[in-house]
Amino acid sequence: MNKEYKKFLKGKEIIDLDSGFKIKLDELNPMLFDFQKSIVQWCLKRGRSAIFAGCGLGKTPMQLEWAKHVNTKTKKPVLILAPLAVSKQTKREGEKFNIDVNICKDSSDVINGINITNYEKLHKFDATVFSGVVLDESSILKNFTGKIKKELIKQFKNTDYKLACTATPSPNDHMELGNHSEFLDIMPSNQMLSNWFILDTMLLGKYRLKKHAVSYFWKWVASWACCLELPSDLGFEDNDFILPDINYKTHVVKSPYQKPNNGMLLYIPKLSATNIHKELRNSNENRVNKALEIVNENPNKAWIIWCNTNYESDLLRKTFPSNWIEVKGSDSDKSKEDNLLKFTFERNQKIITKPSIAGFGLNWQHCYNVIFVGLSYSYEMFYQAVRRSWRFGQKHDVNVHLIQSENDKNISDTLTRKQVSHNTMQEAMKSVNFMAIQGEKSNIKIYQVGKQTTQLPEFT
């Protein structure tokens, strides 16, 4: 390949240019780890960027430090949007790093500094007063046509500085990356699809990366997003970020007898989206009783019981002692927040809730005994729920009990496939040219994939 043609191909590459400002590493909070400083420095230089960092790697102090410098630079307020009950947790984290965080209920509470509120209150704020915005747990953008995604993109279209932080994009497809790109004003998601993807009719109409476009796509992502599971993914030492062991134990309970299908000798379940709840309802009592049996082996420890449905939640509430905390979707926002914070800050508490309610943003390292009273088809929900406990700062091996019935194998098979997809996307995001940080005294450094990978369960 001659030099002229290489130059021609280089000119065809799509990258997003920096729109931020430079800052020296020694101007950043000395309490940050070196890899965190490098990420914050890079994000400030980028202006509009994303941090896809594994749970417990310090996204909260990084986004607070980023917001502090944007506020100092622009002399205008910065807004952090977070899941319910995370605001007070973030404020406490700010106190550790000597960064003031102002919790807001509406626009009248805003100060010229770092402000935080939850996504449910977005409509109570005027986005034009903020020079910067941070999306904490930005996987909220995963819904391609979702109301909140559309509102976030619309409200902060003209905001100069943007930062999106989440553990990892959804493993099911690449659309969440496109939604992040669109929110950050880098490229509309439909343009991303037309550039690098093709509609695959063999995958039920889902999009897949064109084979010849794989490396170019990830180079483009590298121009605006940083991905890591461990500091070593960026060339730093892991040290205390190596997590304790996680022990998965699957408990298979009997399913009540059901009449065989027409013409069949045995009952063969068909766990489609339309009849999954029929099967789960049948085994609900057995699964809940198994959960009680497991807890009774260590009744004085803190416990999290994750459920997916109201009928699971209702039976758990009836079966378990009344002093257990329960957080339901029908609770008021205040009740949810109060109870989630009670479990967060009081030791040896026990909680029953759903990943959709409490699976994002909360730091529950004080609890290392977890039960999933049932499985759902959402691998992302499962992953996030596990990582509330299994994250940096956890001092104990984490025990995760998975309870399923004899008829749930279709669900676990689906989760296994999504687990493989998750790992594949994660490694692609950390591979060639994915992370580029502008060094203080050198040219752009390209970091390769780290040697260690996240341990995930083998579903049975």
Mean pLDDT per block of 10 residues along the chain (460 residues) reads 54 67 96 95 95 90 98 98 91 96 96 95 95 92 71 93 82 73 92 87 71 82 86 86 92 72 55 66 91 95 94 94 93 92 88 92 94 84 90 93 81 70 64 42 30 39
Residue type at position 277:
H
173 and 294 co-located in one domain: no
359 and 285 co-located in one domain: yes
207 and 275 co-located in one domain: no
Residue 458 lies inside a defined structural domain of this protein? no
320 and 363 co-located in one domain: yes
Residue type at position 441:
K
What does the pLDDT read at residue 205?
Answer: 60
Q: In terms of C-beta distances under 8 Å and separation of at least 24 residues, what long-range contacts does 31-38 make, across chains too?
A: 31/61, 31/96, 31/97, 31/98, 32/58, 32/61, 32/62, 32/65, 32/97, 33/58, 33/231, 33/236, 34/236, 35/228, 35/231, 35/234, 35/236, 36/61, 36/62, 36/65, 38/234, 38/236, 38/437
Between the CA of residue 180 and those of 129, 364, 382, what are the distances in Å? 22, 27, 22
What does the pLDDT read at residue 262?
Answer: 58
Alpha helices (runs of H) in 121-174, residue ranges in sequence order: 147-155
23 and 131 co-located in one domain: yes
pLDDT digits (tens, 9 = 90+) for 273-283: 556 767 788 88
Of 197, 228, 259, the position where a domain reaches its end is: 228
Of 169, 193, 228, the position where a domain reaches its end is: 228
Give me the number of domains the chain comprises. 2
224 and 247 co-located in one domain: no
281 and 362 co-located in one domain: yes
User: What is the value of pTM for the model shown?
Assistant: 0.80
Residue 427 lies inside a defined structural domain of this protein? no
Edge-to-edge strand list for the sheet holding 132-136: 102-103, 114-118, 78-82, 132-136, 161-166, 48-53, 225-228
Residue 379 is part of which domain span? 241-418
Answer for the pair 225, 52: CB distance below 8 angstroms, yes or no: yes
Residue 459 lies inside a defined structural domain of this protein? no
Nearest to 163 by CA among 66, 68, 22, 97: 66
Residue 137 lies inside a defined structural domain of this protein? yes
CA atoms within 13 A on the CB side of 230: 20
Residue 191 lies inside a defined structural domain of this protein? yes
372 and 270 co-located in one domain: yes
Please count the other Cβ atoms lying within 10 Å of the Cβ belonging to residue 96. Answer: 11
Residue 345 lies inside a defined structural domain of this protein? yes
205 and 262 co-located in one domain: no
210 and 298 co-located in one domain: no
Q: What is the dihedral of CA 57, 337, 403, 54, to 10 degrees?
A: -10
222 and 245 co-located in one domain: no
CA atoms within 13 A on the CB side of 332: 3
Residue 69 lies inside a defined structural domain of this protein? yes
What does the pLDDT read at residue 450?
Answer: 31
Domain at 266, CATH number: 3.40.50.300
Residue 272 lies inside a defined structural domain of this protein? yes
220 and 358 co-located in one domain: no
What does the pLDDT read at residue 447?
Answer: 29
